[in-house]
Chain A
Amino acid sequence: MTKQDIIKPENLVYQKPKLLNDTPMHYCPGCSHGVVHKLIAEVIEEMGMEEKTIGVSPVGCGVFAYKYIDIDWEEAAHGRAPALATAIKRLWPNRLVFTYQGDGDLACIGTGETIHALNRGENITIIFINNAIYGMTGGQMAPTTLLGMKTATCPYGRDPQLHGYPLKMTELAAQLEGTCFVTRQSVHSVSAIKKAKKAIRKAFENSMAGKGSNLIEIVSTCNSGWKQSPEKANKWMEENMFPFYPIGDLKDI
Chain B
Amino acid sequence: MTEQEVTLMKGNEAIAHAAIRCGCDGYFGYPITPQSEVLETLTELKPWETTGMVVVQAESELAAINMVYGGSGTGKKCMTSSSSPGVSLMQEGISYMAGAELPSLIINVMRGGPGLGTIQPSQADYFQATKGGGHGDYRLIVLAPDCVQEMADFVDLAFTLAFKYRNPAMILADGAIGQMMEKVVLPPFKPRRTEEEIEAECPWAAMGRKSGRGSNVITSLELRSEEMEQINLRLQAKYAEIEANEVRYEEYMCEDADYLICAFGSAARIAKKVIENARAEGIKVGLLRPITLWPFPSKPIQKLSKQVKGILSLEINAGQMIEDIRLAVNGKVPVEHFGRLGGIIPDPDEVVDALKQKLIK
Contacts and interface: CB of A to CB of B under 8 A. Distances in A.
Interface in B42-65: 54, 56, 58-60, 62-64
A238 interface: no
Interface string B192-226: 00000000000000111111001111111100000
B138 interface: no
Given A74-B219, A76-B69, A84-B69, 20 more contacts: A52-B208, A54-B208, A66-B215, A70-B209, A70-B215, A72-B209, A77-B93, A83-B58, A84-B66, A85-B70, A86-B63, A86-B70, A87-B70, A87-B71, A91-B25, A91-B54, A92-B74, A92-B207, A112-B59, A116-B63
Interface of B: 25-26, 28, 54, 56, 58-60, 62-64, 66-71, 73-74, 76, 78, 92-93, 96, 100, 206-211, 214-221
Given A70-B215, A72-B215, A75-B220, A87 B68 contact: yes
Nearest to B211: A51
Nearest to A77: B96
Contact of A73 (B93, B210, B218): B218
Given A54-B207, A87-B26, A88-B73, A116 B66 contact: no
B56 A86 contact: yes
B26 A84 contact: no
6 contacts: A70-B214, A72-B207, A73-B218, A74-B217, A74-B219, A112-B60
Interface residues of A, number: 30
Interface in A62-115: 63, 66, 70-77, 80, 83-88, 90-92, 95, 112-113
A88 B74 contact: yes
A53 interface: yes
Contacts of A84: 66-67, 69-70, 73
B71 A91 contact: yes
Most B CB within 10 A of own CB, among A52, A83, A113: A83
A203 interface: no
Interface of A: 50-54, 56, 63, 66, 70-77, 80, 83-88, 90-92, 95, 112-113, 116
Most A CB within 10 A of own CB, among B58, B100, B211, B214: B58
B219 A66 contact: yes
A85 B74 CA distance: 11
Most A CB within 10 A of own CB, among B66, B214, B216: B66
Contacts of B74: 54, 74, 88, 91-92
Contacts of A95: 207-208
Contact of A92 (B58, B68, B96, B208): B208
A63 to B, nearest CB: 7
Contacts, number: 124
Contacts of B62: 80, 83, 112-113
Ranked 8 nearest A-B pairs via Cβ:
A84-B70, A83-B66, A75-B219, A72-B206, A87-B71, A87-B67, A87-B70, A80-B66
Contact of A83 (B54, B67, B214, B219): B67
Nearest to B67: A87
Contacts of B207: 54, 72, 92, 95
Contact of B59 (A54, A73, A85, A113): A113
B93 to A, nearest CB: 7
Nearest to B220: A75
Contacts of A75: 100, 217-221
Nearest to A53: B208
B228 to A, nearest CB: 14
A74 B67 contact: no
B51 to A, nearest CB: 13
Contacts of B70: 56, 74, 76, 83-88
A73 B217 contact: yes
Contact of A51 (B92, B93, B208): B208
A54 B206 contact: yes
Most A CB within 10 A of own CB, among B64, B70, B210, B216: B70
Contacts of B73: 74, 84, 88
A77 B219 CA distance: 9
A72 B26 contact: no
A80 B216 CA distance: 19
A176 to B, nearest CB: 13
A51 B216 CA distance: 11
Contacts of A52: 208
A228 to B, nearest CB: 26
A172 B100 CA distance: 33
Contacts of A92: 74, 207-208
Nearest to A59: B221
A52 B215 CA distance: 12
Contacts of A113: 59, 62-63, 66
B215 A63 contact: no
A74 B218 contact: yes
B220 A72 contact: no
B59 to A, nearest CB: 4
